[in-house]
Amino acid sequence: SQELEQSPQSLIVQEGKNLTINCTSSKTLYGLYWYKQKYGEGLIFLMMLQKGGEEKSHEKITAKLDEKKQQSSLHITASQPSHAGIYLCGALRQRGNDMRFGAGTRLTVKP
């Protein structure tokens, strides 16, 4: 099973709607990263969270890390077709010498 569980696996929303993607771990996360992948391309870094309760925003995307540092959410406000793609969360393992990713959430935004 994945060390990082992402939900939902896929999401279809109407343009303009808000949405949330979740990333959950059974272990404490040491550095949580959000990446976006456009179909057939490499990943693009979005945000990194390290402290419990931390929240960061970039344009219409907000990411939060809970106080226990075991769950993160990615929230998109007023979605646009340009937001479509696969969103992956990644996390450092405790020893800091390895990185694990979730299986990804495929987002489709209908015009």
Instruction: Specify the stretch interacting with other proteins by CB under 8 A; choose among 13-21, 55-63, 70-78, 102-110.
Output: 102-110
Print the binding letters for residues 81-100 with other proteins: x by CB under 8 A, - otherwise.
Answer: -------x-x-x---xxxxx
In this structure, what DSSP letter does residue 95 have? Answer: T
For other proteins, which is the closer residue by CB, 37 or 77?
37
* Structure tokens given for 15: 């343009």
Classified as helix, coil or strand, 26 is coil
**How far apart are alpha carbons 46 and 62 in whole angstroms?**
10
For other proteins, which is the closer residue by CB, 15 or 41?
41
Give residues 10-69 in contact with other proteins (rule: CB under 8 A): 31, 33, 35, 40-45, 48
For other proteins, which is the closer residue by CB, 56 or 77?
56
**How far apart are alpha carbons 66 and 79 in whole angstroms?**
23
The least CB distance from residue 26 to other proteins, in Å, is 16
* Structure tokens given for 66: 């809970």
Question: Can you say how many angstroms the Cα of residue 108 is from the centroid of all Cα atoms in its chain?
Answer: 15
Residues near other proteins (CB under 8 A): 2, 4, 31, 33, 35, 40-45, 48, 88, 90, 92, 96-104
